[in-house]
Amino acid sequence: MTTGRDWKSDLSDGIHLGRGGAAVFVNVLWPIVERLVKPYPQVPTSKAEGLPNNHIILGSPPPVDNIEWETCCRILKGRQFPRSDVAHYAGAVSDVAKLLGTQFGDLHGTMIQNSKWQSGLQDGLHLGPLGSAKFVQVVWPIIDDLLKPFPQWYPPWTDIDFRNPTLSPY
């Protein structure tokens, strides 16, 4: 989709930082923001390739249901993923997004607003169907804003009659 502009300005990059890093013991001598920036070279690499900062989306991890995760993964017994650490990590991802001038999708904050946030997780750690829908709800407004300058070539899929797709909805 090149419209006379450089293709790199038409791209967007989404990076969803996992909560595996949130569960690792944090060395207080190595600030969490620095810890997040260094292991994720995608942002500087994307910027070096010419991708504008506002086309890069950092997403916080979802919360963790410790009880369900322990139940699903007895092999990892003794290894905990405390929600407080994940919340701290999610806040640090927000700080990194501000520091680097990128977009931020707050999946963690959005999920914990619902008292039944655990229903969005498949096994206490990974997103299930409801969590995936919540993720789309968080990032879609950002993506939608990025796509506004481009014309829509095809009708929305909700406007198509799938029994007779050759009929134009317009």
What CATH number corresponds to the domain at position 35? 3.40.50.1110
Assess if residue 168 is contained within a domain: no
Assess if residue 76 is contained within a domain: yes
Q: In this predicted structure, what is the pLDDT of residue 56?
A: 82
pLDDT in tens, 34-53: 555 554 566 777 777 788 88
Contact 19, 86 (CB under 8 A): yes
Assess if residue 164 is contained within a domain: no
Amino acid found at 162: F
Confidence grade of residue 156 (pLDDT, cut at 50, 70, 90):
confident
Assess if residue 140 is contained within a domain: yes
3-state SS of the chain: helix, strand, coil percent to 5?
Answer: 45, 10, 45
Domain extent at residue 88: 7-159
Helix (H) or strand (E) holding 3: none
Residue 30, classed as helix, strand or coil, is coil
- Structure token digits, residue 16: 């969803």
Count structural domains, the chain. Answer: 1
Q: Which residues contact 146 (CB under 8 A, 6 or more apart)?
A: 12, 54, 55
Q: In this predicted structure, what is the pLDDT of residue 4?
A: 45
Confidence check: pLDDT of 95 > 60? yes
Assess if residue 167 is contained within a domain: no
